Amino acid sequence: MSKPRALRLGVNIDHVATVRNARGGQVPDPVRAAQLAIEAGADGITAHLREDRRHIMDDDILRLKETISKPLNLEMAATTQMLDIALKVRPHAACLVPEKRTERTTEGGLDVVAAHNHLKPFVSELSRAGIRVSLFVEPSIAALDVARSVGAPVIELHTGAWCHALDTGDAERAGREHGRLRVAAAHAAEIGLECHAGHGLNYQTAEKIAELPSIVELNIGHFLIGEAIFTGLSEAIRLMRRSMDAGRARAVQ
Ligand code: PXP
């Protein structure tokens, strides 16, 4: 039995910007939150520049790129405007996500099967610029196979349906969704894709998902920023790391 791989924590700071934008002005500053998150043990910072700029703004992305000491993962829709920004900013990584103006958060993964031809040039251009591209997908074998065929080196599994089933006490659905995540994570490793996961995770679900050995990064935002109100961001990140480490210690390769 080999030692399970390290599990990175990417902290999504979008909702610090949500609070700032509720009043306008400069505070609370998501860049300050990113710096604090890194000091507290985050391995990277994730930010979603949405088309409607409802939370993160263009200037936040520029300041994050200039100031943070860990990798920046830019979540973005596959549009030419976002591609131009990514090529200018050159984040370490870009995660392509579906985006609907009416949604409160990223509701599902990319429909990569239908969008194959649309996504391919985005993956190529970003990769050519040295940006590590991931596709945010539902945990399905077909989606992973298409992600590989468009040349993405990384996929991020959408954990939202599983987390939602647990939150609403739907144990049967939760079991089914967890099974899909387990199978998809194993398939990603088999076909040579780096596997990340995220959406809706909390201390309990992060611990559980950390048991899947092929997942090497979790991206977590809303829960951590919410907990920060009560415990402070550093403590929330410390507890999240502890949960992730406890789950990873049970991972079987
Ligand atoms: N990963 C991706 C691709 C996302 O779009 C989001 C939400 O912005 C997250 C992870 C984080 O989700 P949450 O804020 O629910 O932790």
Backbone region of residue 226 per phi and psi (left: phi > 0; alpha: psi in -120 to 50; beta: other values) = alpha
What digits encode the pLDDT tens for the residues 110-137? 888 888 889 999 999 999 999 999 999 9
Distance CA 29, CA 35 (A): 10
Rounded to the nearest whole angstrom, what is the distance from the C-alpha of residue 2 to the centroid of ligand 1?
A: 30
Can you tell me the mean pLDDT for 2-6? 79
For 196, the enclosing helix (H) or strand (E) is strand 194-198
Intra-chain end-to-end CA distance of the chain, in Å: 6
pLDDT digits (tens, 9 = 90+) for 198-226: 999 999 999 999 999 999 999 999 999 99
**pLDDT value for 104:** 76
Query: In sequence order, what are the beta bridge partners of 132?
Result: 93
Counting ligand 1 atoms within 8 A of each CB, the residue from 15, 46, 99 with the most, and so the one to mutate, is 46
Query: Tokens 């951590």 label which residue?
Result: 224
| Number of domains the chain is built from | 1
Its domain, for residue 195, covers 8-251
Residue 3 lies in a domain: no
In a domain, 93, yes or no: yes
**What is the per-residue pLDDT for 3?**
73
With respect to residue 80, please indicate whether it lies within any of the assigned structural domains. Answer: yes
Q: Which residue has the tokens 């507890």?
A: 239
Q: Give domain status of residue 2, yes or no.
A: no
Question: CA 42, CA 35: separation in Å to the nearest integer?
Answer: 9
Closest to 152 (Cα-Cα) out of 184, 185, 127, 129: 127
CA-closest candidate to residue 215, choices 1, 9, 13: 9
CATH number of 187's domain: 3.20.20.70
pLDDT at 111: 84
Give distance in angstroms: CA of 155 to centre of ligand 1. Answer: 13
* pLDDT tops 90 at residue 107: no
Question: Atom 12 (ligand 1): residue with closest C-alpha?
Answer: 199
Alpha-carbon span 33 to 232, nearest angstrom? 11
Residue 67 alpha carbon to ligand 1 centre in Å: 22
CB atoms inside a 10 Å sphere around CB 222: 16
Paired residues of 94 in beta bridges: 74, 133
Total-model pTM: 0.97
Could you tell me if 77 and 126 are in contact, meaning their C-beta atoms sit under 8 angstroms apart?
Answer: no
Burial degree of 211 (CB within 10 A; 0-12, 13-18, 19+): middle
Percent of the chain clearing pLDDT 90 (strictly above)? 90
Examine residue 1 and state whether it is found in any structural domain, yes or no.
no
Q: Report the alpha-carbon distance of residue 55 to residue 161 in Å, rounded.
A: 23
Give the per-residue pLDDT at 101: 67
